[in-house]
Amino acid sequence: MANQTENKKERKIVIEWHSILRDLKKNLIFFVMSVLIGLMAIFILQKSVYSPEYTSTATLVVSAKLGNMNPYANLSVSSEMAKVFSEVFVQPSMRAKAADRLGQGFRGSLKAKTITGTNLFQVSVTTDSPERSYRQLCAILEVYPEISDIVFENAVIDVIKMPAMAHGPSNTMPQTNEAAILAMCVLLSVGGTVAISILRDTVKTEADFSQKIDAGIFGVIPHEKKNQSLLNRFQRKKKGLLTNDTVTVSLKFSESFHQIAARLEYAKRMSGAKVFSILSVAENEGKSTVAANVALSLASKGNKVLLFDLDQKKPALYKLFELDYEEGSELGYLLSGDLPAEQFKLRQYRNSTLFLALNTRAHKGSQQWIENGSVKRVLQQLKDKMDFVIVDTSPIMVDSSVTEIIQIVDQNLLVVRTDTVPAATLNDAILTVKNLGAGFSGCILNDVYPEFSLIGQIGFDESGYYYSRSYGKYGKYGKYGKYGKYGKYNKYGKYSKYNKYSRYNRYGSYGKYANPGVTSDFDGANNTGKKH
């Protein structure tokens, strides 16, 4: 308990930029929705506090009846009188007389102001209705002589611009900084996504694995981008990542599986283990891809390998190898007893030492296969004929029978995909395997992104590998490339793949006179594996 407490204290928050960018990309629709919500909030706010107002305006001119006075003096006197009348027009008595003329209350806002430097002034009435504003202003213009004649008998007031009914609101909606509100909505949604991504208790890096998971790392598989054709993308057809397809996978991806295969060979020499199950806690962690590529890597080293498909809920290996159903080779029929053992055929993959026992569909009753001993019996019989048996299982969270399978095999490997399953769930699964007394070799950390750095984005990672498949160190024209100094067609490649003494020569194990089929004694009968 003390050690666990210390480990928890030592844990650091890991900021993995690839994880953050993936989350931002995944939640892009929510950011758009936050902008739309911000726009709706602005609209509702403006509508709830905004009341349209309509204003009718009239312009009047004031002139003095002073005979032959100097025009400039007349203008000066008229300007002063205009200021006085602008004050008179807004008096309560003016509103009262206008209300009497209308026969109803005067509920508008009456304003008057002079035009600077002139003898003109404007009178306006503002209400919530354009018709009401117009009628009330007209009433003001009708009653103003009764008051203006009392103030100045020698003043003449004429209307030079008659009022008109307003065609639209005179006030605008409240000014809000819409850009700032929208930016705040986006920042809040993005900030929340980033915070959740950082605080999510999953394994994001190799260093993060060491801090959170109570198990060792058996292998690390780098992130590999699938290079699909436009047609496959349009048809949404997924293509598996197999190390034997050197066109679509990088050298670093292939080398990671070769390293795992080398460790399996070492484990076999040390403990005699031959049957290894590939586990995962949840779906979509790359378990089947790992199992297929580990089997391919072991076979490329000359081992006779069997890939055994026990993922009865959702088999995927046949899709990776692009195989269809074939009569007599469906593993589920053998285990259920519907297919006699002497009629079952292993599939041989492309004239290699890899043999496949696959399912092309889900089979019911897989729990009974384990309980009645069919799985254990078949594995034991095939184990004696093979150097390695790689077992692909269902995810632990999906199929409870996996806990019984892990006790049948020699060793178990748990595939952990970065940023997928909570660390606590992974530790529980590892503890379950250990408590069952099953052999546990460690975890395979899958889909590990390179360090997010400037150099990494240009093309190199911290190990010095160049990501380009064309001109890198191991590329087409590189030192070890197709046409390089030590390429397989080079005349000095004494021990190259197609050299005279190579096992691929016509007398080699894959040559012209090699045995095209493989005979495997299964349950006392000879069965020829079919090539694919």
Quote the pLDDT of residue 532: 53
Together in a domain, 23 and 62: no
* Res 295: pLDDT: 96
Query: In this structure, are 337 and 421 located in the same domain?
Result: yes
Structural domain includes residue 484: no
Q: Let me know whether 17 and 105 are in one domain.
A: no
| Distance from C-alpha of 434 to C-alpha of 406, rounded to nearest angstrom | 10
Regarding whether 216 and 133 lie in a shared domain, the answer is: no
Same domain assignment for residues 346 and 281: yes
Angle between helical axes of 28-49 and 178-199 (0-180°, round to 10): 140
Percent of the chain with pLDDT strictly greater than 70: 76
Examine residue 25 and state whether it is found in any structural domain, yes or no. Answer: yes
Q: Which of 50, 150, 36 minimizes the C-alpha distance to 93? A: 150
| Residue 259 sits in the same domain as residue 408 | yes
Domain count, the chain: 3
Residues 380 and 437 reside in one and the same domain? yes
pLDDT attached to residue 350: 87
Q: Which domain holds residue 439?
A: 206-449
Asked if 236 and 130 sit in the same domain, the reply is: no
Q: Both tokens of residue 279? A: 């586990």
- Is 113 in the same domain as 222? no
Confidence (pLDDT) at 81: 80
Q: Where are the beta strands (DSSP E) in 194-289?
A: 217-222, 275-280
Structure tokens at 390: 């790689």
The answer to whether residue 265 sits within a structural domain is yes
186 and 317 part of one domain: no
Question: Which residue ranges in the chain fall short of pLDDT 50?
Answer: 1-9, 69, 454-521, 523-530
Q: Is residue 327 part of a domain?
A: yes
CATH number for the domain harbouring residue 405: 3.40.50.300
CA distance 296 to 507: 23
**457 in a domain, yes or no?**
no
The answer to whether residue 475 is domain-embedded is: no
User: Are residues 185 and 332 both part of a single domain?
Assistant: no
Q: What is the pLDDT of residue 156?
A: 80
| pLDDT for position 489 | 41
Give the rounded distance of the alpha carbon of 148 from its chain centre.
76
